[in-house]
Structure 1
Amino acid sequence: MYNLLSGLKDYFKRQEIIIDNPIFRIHCTFTTVLLITFSMIITWTQFVGQPIRCIVEGVPTHVVNTYCWIMTTFTMPDAFQRPLHSVAHPGVAQNFEDDEGKQKHYTYYQWVCFVLFFQALLCYFPKWLWETWEHQLMSTIVCGLNIGLRSEDEKTQKKSILIDYLIRHLNQHNMYAFRYWFCEVLCFVNVIFQMFVMDWFFKGDFMSYGLNVLTFDDIDQDQRYDHMVFVFPRVTKCTFRKYGPSATIEKHDAICILPLNIVNEKTYIFLWFWFIILAILCAIVLVFRFIMIITPSLRPKLMHARNRMVPQEAVESVSRKVSIGDWWVLYMLGRNIDPQIYRDVIVEFSKKNETAHSNNPKIH
């Protein structure tokens, strides 16, 4: 188990070349590792110990355990509201034949580890898609200028290569930027989609799960019940039927303990808060991107904030005379190039771009 989890640390290695933003990495890297970790813990807990233990008379214990794990267990929802002295456990009360429609069945516990792993794949998908589209462009054009300790001749040569690339490929990076911003949108859509998937998975109990848990302490002691126990009951019932000696059907009510739900309830209360926070962060990024796209006057401020060493007039000139895709590439270069080298690149590129516009007024 330790060896499996320790292998996930490779996902947190520092990126030599940055091609995204921190929120994107939190969604695609941290959340992916988080979900895989939860899936491994639950899988390990599920198969190391017994995930279910049932008590019933007249039937071998291992048979009932297997049957109830496969065929699901249930509680009586109205029994959660009853005083504890009138029920065996929260949600566990006597049920009759006409009460079968009132039972709350639990089927999720067989699938939690698989669903968490599937969610991890969904979180990783935008990163995989962006890396496929990006095709190491940023790493290629940086040319090793992220390391400032180089000889002057080497720096001059690499700066010249980078600036020549930017001049030759002027106005050709819009698709590069739009694809990345699409992946950011995909992150937000993915978070919202997964919240609805989890709500469906838990039969409508996930969306309000965290709020109900938070309000638990504010309710009067005699009237409250733990919502985590309602969604993830520790004790449930199971009905086992078999033929008796005279070929009549015998009905056996079993009480089942689900120790795995102690892990599940903590996992999903954390995920509820985490996905709410992640949705808010992704939404803020999208609003910021929208403002950045429709407000050209904001771009030079952002570029200058990236590197205060770059003269204001240079970033103004560059931001005014390049397409938004070219601006985005230059902005991302500021994250990957040594600050002094980046200043020289922007100043020289600004001069050459001014000259190109002067020689050809049709360039936009």
Structure 2
Amino acid sequence: MYKLLGDLRGYLKWQDITTDSMIFRMHNIFTTVLLLTFSLIITATQYVGNPIACIVESGLRKNAINTFCWITSTFTMPDAFNRQVGKEVAHPGIGNDFNDESARKYYTYYQWVCFVLFFQAIMCYVPQWLWNTWENGLMRSIVMGMNHQLCDEKEKLKKKSVMMNYIMKHRTTHISYVYRYYACEAICLLNILLQLYCMNRFFDGEFMGYGLRVLQYADKPQEERVDPMVYIFPRVTKCIFHKIGPSGSVQKHDSLCILPLNIVNEKTYIFIWFWYLILTVLLVGLLAYRAAIIFAPAIRPRLMHLAARGTSKETCRSVSRKTDLGDWWLLYCLGTNLDSIMYREILQELAKKLGDQNSQVVA
């Protein structure tokens, strides 16, 4: 198992150049690794042990019944979850259906869980792939290795001069840079909402309230308790297998099937439910914050002052006032990738050059 999951550690390595936010990485990197880990664990569990074990009558091949029930579907009786186990029913949800097929609740998802988790992981990585394609190493090219503080003073001055020349020469050309990044953050929120909807459909409308029902489960009276994890991910289900008898008539065999894999599934999806809820709240707050940056330019100098430790507020106001949103965002990102002293010097020199040129403000 360690070797199976060891290769995923490479996705969590520290980035020496950052062009995105922590919440953006939580969605694209951490969530992707998390979902891939769950998918591999569930897949490995199938290899380590049998994901289904059915109790069959004598004369029937157990392996054949196990395979049949796994690739088709099993079912429970929803009304049997409210009955007393050991007296009225053998297991939660296991009762007599009296040949009423409409009263059965079928479970067809379990053989698809590992594939769905893998697909979800791919969808979570799409915004990161888009941003990497659009960004194309621009920030790394501008920084030129000055985030490591290993170059001598002469080389540092030369690189700073090259950086200043780039900023002045390419003014007002970075508006697509910032809007593409903000679009990627919006795609993250859209992806989370779409995945929540799809998971809810995947579990027949039971997923949206799954976490809340788990939290409320302990507060309910004992006689009214129905474990939501057992209801959505039952440990024991029923399966009907039809066979041709010696006389040519159709024989019906009713089997109980144990689903040990659902012990993993129920823990996996309760964690996903809470994690996606946290991500949704964080992403909504992040997009509101981005909207404030776009439509309230007055907050930009304050944000730049927080990023440029030791730089005067007047310098930050001067630079923010004489740059458009794209150039401001590029300078703001430089603050997370450069030494604070170097960053302060660049802002001071830039404010001086912009003042000398009497630049026009582009809102």
Which of the five TM-score ranges fits, normalised by the shorter chain? over 0.9
Whole-Å Cα distance in 1 between the matches of residues 12 and 174 of structure 2?
A: 29
Q: Which AA in structure 1 matches 2:222?
A: Q
**Alpha-carbon distance, 1:114 to partner:** 0.5
Q: Which AA in structure 1 matches 2:46?
A: Q
User: Contact 2:97 / 2:103 at 8 angstroms: preserved in 1?
Assistant: no
Describe the SS at the equivalent of 1:352.
helix
Q: Residue by residue, what CA displacement relative to the aligned partner does 1:178-221 show, whole Å, maximum 9, x if unpaired?
A: 00000000011111111111111111110010111111011110
| Correspondence 1:91 to 2:93 | yes
Q: Which AA in structure 2 matches 1:201?
A: F
Describe the SS at the equivalent of 2:158.
helix
TM-score normalised by length of structure 2:
0.97
Q: Residue by residue, what CA displacement relative to the aligned partner does 1:256-301 show, whole Å, maximum 9, x if unpaired?
A: 0000000000000110000000111111100111111111110000
Whole-Å Cα distance in 1 between the matches of residues 149 and 312 of structure 2?
A: 20
User: Contact 2:324 / 2:362 at 8 angstroms: preserved in 1?
Assistant: no
| Correspondence 1:141 to 2:178 | no
Q: Which AA in structure 1 matches 2:186?
A: V
| Correspondence 1:24 to 2:41 | no
User: Contact 1:56 / 1:255 at 8 angstroms: preserved in 2?
Assistant: yes
The correspondence of residues 155-304 of structure 1 with structure 2, limited to 5 A, is 155-304=156-305
**Alpha-carbon distance, 1:355 to partner:** 1.7
Which residue is equivalent to 2:55? 55
User: Contact 1:72 / 1:106 at 8 angstroms: preserved in 2?
Assistant: yes
Label 1:40 to 1:363 Cα distance change in 2 as closer, same or farther (>3 A): closer
Q: Which AA in structure 1 matches 2:95?
A: A
User: Contact 1:357 / 1:363 at 8 angstroms: preserved in 2?
Assistant: no
Label 1:362 to 1:264 Cα distance change in 2 as closer, same or farther (>3 A): closer
Whole-Å Cα distance in 2 between the matches of residues 228 and 264 of structure 1?
A: 9
Whole-Å Cα distance in 2 between the matches of residues 362 and 178 of structure 1?
A: 19
Which residue is equivalent to 1:351? 352
Moved more, 141-150 or 197-206: 141-150
Q: Which AA in structure 2 matches 1:155?
A: K
Whole-Å Cα distance in 2 between the matches of residues 24 and 356 of structure 1?
A: 37
Q: Residue by residue, what CA displacement relative to the aligned partner does 1:73-120 show, whole Å, maximum 9, x if unpaired?
A: 0000111011222001000011122x1011111111100000000000
Q: Which AA in structure 2 matches 1:240?
A: F
Which residue is equivalent to 1:317? 318
Whole-Å Cα distance in 2 between the matches of residues 339 and 150 of structure 1?
A: 16
**Alpha-carbon distance, 1:20 to partner:** 0.3
Which residue is equivalent to 1:35? 35
TM-score normalised by length of structure 1:
0.97
**Alpha-carbon distance, 1:362 to partner:** 8.9
Describe the SS at the equivalent of 1:86.
coil
Number of residue pairs aligned between Structure 1 and Structure 2 = 361
User: Contact 1:72 / 1:105 at 8 angstroms: preserved in 2?
Assistant: yes
Q: Residue by residue, what CA displacement relative to the aligned partner does 1:137-196 show, whole Å, maximum 9, x if unpaired?
A: 000011122123432211111111001000000000000000000000001111111111
Whole-Å Cα distance in 2 between the matches of residues 363 and 339 of structure 1?
A: 27
Whole-Å Cα distance in 1 between the matches of residues 322 and 290 of structure 2?
A: 20
Q: Which AA in structure 2 matches 1:343?
A: R
Whole-Å Cα distance in 2 between the matches of residues 46 and 213 of structure 1?
A: 26
| Correspondence 1:67 to 2:68 | yes
Tell me the C-alpha RMSD between the 2 structures.
1.2
